[in-house]
């Protein structure tokens, strides 16, 4: 069906846009727990506040586009299984809520640094402690959002694997790649720092997956049968 192909290509272009927003968002974010090693980290954050605000905006826009993808796919997934479609959209909605919370935390950190600089606060230790807590709060929310993202993406790849709307090797690869992201996020929760490759390898799959969708869309010969 041509509608399947068009839907697939639309999602492919949306993924390209998400990547275009997401990469600069990560680069401009500029937050790291290693920042606290500097006694002047509050001033450093204050000086980079504009680029951090841009990163917040880009992150929210990219996350909102995942919700758009979930809405576009909802009718298609509903043909497969209604409860699965509700689960799929619900988990993306929850992930978006956590993204909003994490970015509010980042913005409150910027407010803290602004207060620190504008008032010429002398109690540096107190402000530094509050700043550290805000950075830690952001990263805890960040890893929670990654686990929700991984769960939602795994659901998508599972659906595509079952329905054969894309080649099964792409879906299987996606399930493996996103499972590694899920595991790495949990390891961070337990203060174990896995290799960055646990996360970056998912980007390789995303590029391949996105490229296939833009070029081919969803399989036009595949009919979706409803399951119980």
What pLDDT shows up at residue 38?
A: 73
Asked if the structure places residue 91 within a domain, the reply is yes
Local structure of 220: helix, strand or coil: coil
Q: What is the DSSP letter of 218?
A: S
What pLDDT shows up at residue 53?
A: 94
| Of 175, 176, 179, the residue nearest 160 (C-alpha) | 175
Q: What is the DSSP letter of 191?
A: T
Asked if the structure places residue 221 within a domain, the reply is no
Task: Write out the chain's pLDDT in tens, 228 residues.
Answer: 567 788 999 999 999 999 999 999 988 888 876 676 677 888 889 998 999 999 999 999 999 999 999 999 999 999 888 999 999 999 999 999 999 999 999 999 999 999 888 877 667 888 888 998 999 999 999 999 999 999 999 999 999 999 999 999 999 999 999 999 999 999 988 988 888 889 989 999 999 999 999 999 998 775 665 655
What pLDDT shows up at residue 11?
A: 96
Dihedral sign from CA coordinates of 144, 150, 152, 153: positive
Q: Report how far residue 98's alpha carbon sits from residue 209's, in angstroms, rounded to the nearest whole number.
A: 25
**Host domain of residue 59:** 2-216
Asked if the structure places residue 222 within a domain, the reply is no
Asked if the structure places residue 141 within a domain, the reply is yes
Asked if the structure places residue 224 within a domain, the reply is no
Place of tokens 């209604």: 82
What pLDDT shows up at residue 226?
A: 60
Q: Report how far residue 36's alpha carbon sits from residue 42's, in angstroms, rounded to the nearest whole number.
A: 9
What pLDDT shows up at residue 117?
A: 86
Q: What would the pLDDT profile of 10-57 be if each residue is shown by its tens digit?
A: 999 999 999 999 999 988 888 876 676 677 888 889 998 999 999 999
Total domains in the chain come to 1
Local structure of 226: helix, strand or coil: coil
Q: Report how far residue 67's alpha carbon sits from residue 53's, in angstroms, rounded to the nearest whole number.
A: 22
Residue 98: C-alpha distances to residues 21, 80, 91, 152 (Å): 18, 28, 11, 14
The pTM for the full model equals 0.90
Residue 18, token pair as written in the block: 């998400």
Residue 153 CB coordination number (10 Å): 25
As a dihedral over the C-alpha atoms of residue 214, residue 98, residue 190, residue 124, rounded to 10 degrees, the angle is: 120
Q: What is the DSSP letter of 32?
A: -
Asked if the structure places residue 116 within a domain, the reply is yes
Asked if the structure places residue 226 within a domain, the reply is no
What pLDDT shows up at residue 222?
A: 58
Asked if the structure places residue 171 within a domain, the reply is yes
DSSP 96-153: HHHHHHHHHHHHHHHHHHHHHHHTT-S-HHHHHHHHHHHHHHHHHHHHHHHHHHHHHH
DSSP 33-80: GGGGGSTTHHHHHHHTHHHHHHHHHHHHHHHHHHHHHHHHHHHHHHHH
As a dihedral over the C-alpha atoms of residue 58, residue 127, residue 132, residue 33, rounded to 10 degrees, the angle is: 70
What pLDDT shows up at residue 1?
A: 54
CA atoms within 13 A on the CB side of 75: 5
């Amino acid at each position: 069906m041509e509608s399947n192909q068009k839907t697939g290509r639309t999602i492919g272009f949306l993924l390209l846009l998400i990547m275009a927003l997401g990469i600069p968002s990560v680069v401009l974010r500029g937050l790291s727990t290693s920042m606290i090693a500097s006694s002047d980290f509050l001033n450093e954050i204050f000086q980079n506040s504009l680029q951090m605000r841009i990163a917040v905006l880009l992150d929210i826009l990219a996350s909102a586009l995942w919700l758009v993808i979930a809405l576009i796919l909802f009718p298609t997934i509903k043909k497969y299984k209604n409860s699965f479609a509700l689960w799929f959209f619900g988990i993306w909605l929850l992930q978006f809520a956590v993204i909003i919370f994490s970015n509010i935390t980042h913005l409150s950190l910027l407010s803290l640094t602004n207060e620190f600089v504008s008032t010429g606060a002398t109690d540096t230790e107190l402000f530094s402690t509050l700043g550290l807590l805000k950075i830690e709060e952001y990263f805890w929310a960040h890893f929670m959002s990654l686990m929700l993202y991984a769960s939602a993406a795994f659901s998508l790849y599972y659906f595509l694997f079952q329905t054969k709307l894309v080649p099964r090797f792409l879906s299987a690869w996606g399930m493996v790649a996103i499972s590694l992201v899920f595991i790495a996020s949990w390891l961070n929760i337990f203060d174990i720092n896995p290799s960055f490759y646990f996360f970056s390898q998912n980007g390789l799959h995303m590029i391949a997956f996105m490229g296939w969708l833009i070029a081919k869309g969803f399989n036009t010969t595949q009919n979706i049968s409803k399951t119980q």
